[in-house]
Amino acid sequence: MSIKISNQRYEEIKRIVVRMFVKYGVSCVPINGFEIAHKMGIKVIPYSAIAPSKRWLLIKKSEDGFSVERTNGQWYIFYNDEKDYGRVNHTIMHEIGHIVLDHTEDSELAEKEVKFFAKYALAPPVLIHKLKLDNPESISKIFEISYEAACYAYDYYQKWRRRYYGSYTDYEHRLLCLFDQAS
């Protein structure tokens, strides 16, 4: 049986993303996971920075990337820099999601939450609407995400439009104001 995230938790994750954007001054697209990680004090390390003789251990742990907290509280995100930028940026945001959502163990629920966190953070529907993007190709180009991720973002945007169009939430207003200030 598949684990489901409640609507309340989805709303909470969206608020967390917007609070993160406000706290770290994220106010333009494309949303850059590297920039956010840097502002959060997270060390971001490409797999290629690790000795070739040990790199296989990283790939064994994850083809894309993973995060680790050291005993001194310092967070590290290791990522496979042989992947394209869109995939790497998504991986960084995914790992930021684990950190921000305070996941302490791997679980199906944690993975579902961070997949949503990354999708929402990299292409928020209210920004897709503000920019008048009406297809996955334009979303992929403007937000610098993969075409596959853009298709998911577009589908989510379509659902958002049917559900929320014309009546923004408080966090969507905050997000629009944040991005308006940078214009």
137 in any annotated domain: yes
16 in any annotated domain: no
* pTM for this entry: 0.93
pLDDT at position 84: 93
95 with 169, same domain: the answer is: no
Q: What residue numbers bound the domain in which 105 lies?
A: 31-122
**Which amino acid would we find at residue 15?**
R
pLDDT at position 165: 66
pLDDT at position 1: 57
SS3 of 133-166: CCCHHHHHHHHCCCHHHHHHHHHHHHHHHHHHCC
| 111's tokens | 């993975």
pLDDT at position 105: 84
Profile the chain (183 residues) by mean pLDDT over runs of 10 residues: 89 98 96 98 97 94 95 94 95 98 90 97 96 97 95 96 84 94 56
pLDDT at position 182: 52
**Which amino acid would we find at residue 137?**
E
129 torsion bin: left (phi>0), alpha (psi -120 to 50), beta (else): alpha
17 in any annotated domain: no
108 with 175, same domain: the answer is: no
114 with 157, same domain: the answer is: no
pLDDT at position 72: 87
13 in any annotated domain: no
C-alpha distances in Å from residue 58, one per residue of 54, 63, 77, 81, 126: 7, 8, 11, 12, 36
